[in-house]
Amino acid sequence: MRNHKNIHHISAFFLAISLLMLCTSGSLNAQGQEVRWMRIGDLHNWYSSLGAEIEVGRTGDETQQQDGLRWPAQFQFQDNVAAKSLWIGTTNFDDPILGQVVPHKVNSVGTRDFDPVADIMPDEFKMVGRFRAPLVVVDGNAATDNRLNDIVDEIREDQIQDRMIVSTFHSGMGISCTRKIIGFSQQNHDDYFIYEYVFKNTGIIDNNGTTRPVPLTDVWFHFQHRYAIGHEAFRCECGWDPENNINWGRNTVNQVVGQDPNAADFEFRASYSWYGRHSQAPANDLGLPHFGQSKPLAAAKFIGVITLHADTGPGDQTDDLFQPRTTQYLGSDDQEIQRRDPFNTSVMTQKYNAMSAGHPNQTHAQQVGNGFADIWGTDPGGYSQGQGFGPYNLQPGDSIRIVMAEAVGGLSREKAWEVGRAFYRQEPPYTMPDGSTTTDRMEYKNAWVMTAEDSLFQAFRRAREVFNNNYEIPLPPPPPDQFEVASGGDKISLTWSSNAESWPNFDGYEVYRGFRKSDTTFTKIFECDRSNLVNAFNDTTARRGENYYYYVVSKDDGSTNDINPGVPLRSSKFFTITNTPAFLRRPASEGFTDIRIVPNPFHIQARDLQFGSGQSKDRIAFFGLPPVCTIRIFTERGDLIKTIEHNDGTGDELWDSLTESRQLIVSGLYIVHFQTPDGQSDFRKLIVIR
């Protein structure tokens, strides 16, 4: 079973290194693919040049099986997917490799593996953006995840989408695909991505561009989604531990709506999933509450895909409302169906039959009903969604366009905390979503969890409207393209650039601050509009000894908001949010008598306590320094391992315990030499126990 619990002064050198990292981060990873992140709004996901995101495909590390579709992405362990796949199948194919006509030819990537030579072959892969990620700096160093994870290859200032990933790939049967992944940072549209697929019978059958144009019959395009809701509880302990099982795979529940466009209640075609009840939970665990501590609900989310368009045929681009024609759920660990082999006729026939199986008499959710999802069915990995589009007959040059949107809906982080605390404390009455009250904490919890379904449907409707409007949505002002945070002795100074101020309806900035760690709820601490416009702010309310994280957003006057008129549209916090802390520094000393090294000794077994919650566990601090000095750190043998230039005029300097070669220091005695520009010097000893 594949489930495991288990703006100012930046040096030319720094800029050169940053550019080098930008240029190289999109290269092939260990899995033989390119990866790009879409991380501009509350939903983050990685995408592969292969055309689908396979299980543990980004890192190859099975401990990161739940990886992607992070929402709300500001917080740790919010991944909601384990694997995806794309299968393309046809009938009666004269296979040039096998030298025979096979009843079914299936090329596929995922859910477990891929072959980029003979099966699905990547071609072009790039990110197109309206602007590049801003330069974000804390105390002179790059301080943003976007430096590596928001790589824009091409700028198109006139495009509506904030980001668009474009990839092309070919298949061994001669069908090529162009996939466009579209994302918005506007706050009303940042919880979904739109996927456009154009499948074309080009006849290209290999990486050399060899063409073999032949008609293809009864072609199916099949997508699989193995959603994995509840990562936070899996990683952080949920208060109960299922035996020989885990609490996200086996009990995922899959629902399908809109199979019959003639039905009276037809609204849209969608498949979606949620965290179902687990038989080993102490009580009803819908939403994954923590039964032993006051913590947020870990799985108050619904996630799924909506079909926005599927061509009726290669010569008919009208939307076929009967597509997808297959919505069968699939065993996530079904070895026969999940197996990939483009030259094994038996394997390909089994996959083709699954792709073209039609609709089940009852959906997975209907069959599970009010029971325990983890003990329904026989597949040890639980069940995944499947959507099959077809059958199509494609002559050489024919193409089919399929458009879907993928979204996550759920309780805000604040509401998840509120409901989780109330559920744990058992202090009725509880306020229900409709404003009524109840004394039943289960009824209260479940009612709030089920509002996540409404949130998902709302995202589906917005994605559909945007697609139908040809992606025309009002855009927020761009973020400041530079944001700098500087720690000081009595304040933390923030400055930002003015590039957004020429935007139509621009109306100022807002600054937000987080406390102790970056994955926390941020509070607005400053705002200005056109009447008092500034590009700097000094945070004088910070407390000494604590870490602070910041972001700044540009905003308009609210006149263009398409969902909530009057509410300003804001640039995304993810463009400027810092991943490195700023903090108050002590005033400088006149000499060396006040110098202290903290902690000393440094003991690895006590490092969680030595600098407090949210601090770097390997941090060593030098306090009581002169305003300018050079700090040299030597081993007991006299080998120089680190030189630090302290020149910010304060009495503090921090070291991450790394040598000049980026190696973590080992146990031992170290000599620290302090020297001022006029030649005065002093020594201190540092003991490290690891």
CATH code of the domain containing 685 = 2.60.40.4070
Both 506 and 358 in one domain: the answer is: no
Per residue in 60-119, pLDDT (tens digit) is 888 889 999 999 999 999 999 999 999 999 999 999 999 999 999 999 999 999 999 999
What pTM was computed for the model?
0.87
Backbone angles phi, psi at 414, to 5 degrees: -65, -45
My answer on whether 418 and 488 are in the same domain is no
Helix axes 413-425, 441-468, angle to 10 degrees: 170
580 found inside a domain: no
In a domain, 589, yes or no: no
pLDDT digit string, tens, across residues 314-358 = 999 999 999 999 999 999 999 888 999 999 999 999 999 999 999
Q: What is the pLDDT of residue 505?
A: 96
4 lies in some domain:
no
Domain count, the chain: 3
Same domain? 503 vs 387: no
Task: Give the pLDDT means over successive 10-residue stretches in the chain (690 positions).
Answer: 38 35 42 88 97 94 91 95 97 96 97 93 97 95 92 94 97 98 97 98 96 97 96 71 73 96 97 95 92 92 98 97 98 91 96 97 97 93 96 98 98 96 96 98 98 98 98 96 93 97 97 91 97 97 91 97 96 97 89 93 68 62 94 96 91 91 93 96 94
Smallest Cα–Cα separation from 423: which of 242, 280, 284?
Answer: 284
What does the alpha-carbon distance between residue 427 and residue 413 come to, in Å, rounded to a whole number?
A: 21
Pairing of the two strands 482-487 and 492-496: antiparallel
198 and 99 share one domain: yes
Residue 400 CA to residue 295 CA, distance in Å, equals 47
Q: What's the pLDDT at 611?
A: 52
**Chosen domain end from 543, 575, 607:** 575
The answer to the question of residue 570 being in a domain is yes
Contact 319, 351 (CB under 8 A): no
The token duo for 289 is 């509450």
* 246, 305: one domain: yes
The pair phi, psi for residue 462, each rounded to 5°, is: -70, -40
Domain boundary among 416, 437, 465: 465
Judgement on whether residues 567 and 439 belong to the same structural domain of the protein: no
> Which residue do the tokens 């995202």 mark?
459
Both tokens of 478, joined, read 């761009």
State how far the Cα of 504 lies from the Cα of 113, in Å rounded to an integer.
Answer: 48
| Residue 66 located in a structural domain | yes
Shared domain for 541 and 677, answered yes or no, is: no
In a domain, 165, yes or no: yes
Pinpoint the alpha helices (H) of 469-568: none
Query: Are 344 and 493 in the same domain?
Result: no
* 187 plus 328 within the same structural domain: yes
Kindly report, residue by residue over 161-171, the tens digit of the pLDDT. 999 999 999 99
Is there a single domain that holds both residue 110 and residue 208?
yes
Residue 545: per-residue pLDDT:
76
Give me the amino acid identity at 290: H
Domain end call among 406, 430, 465 = 465
- 546: domain CATH number is 2.60.40.10
Residue in 306, 88, 86 with CA at minimum distance from that of residue 193: 306
| Secondary structure element (H or E) that encloses residue 225, with its range | strand 216-227
Q: Is the same domain home to 387 and 427?
A: yes
**Whether 524 contacts 620, CB under 8 Å:** no
Q: State which residues form the domain around 539.
A: 482-575
Identity (one letter) of the amino acid at 399?
Answer: S
Burial of 16 (0-12, 13-18, 19+ CB in 10 A): exposed
Instruction: Say if residue 629 is in the same domain as residue 544.
Output: no
pLDDT computed for residue 648 by the predictor: 79
Q: pLDDT value at position 607? A: 53
Tokens of 409: 């809906």
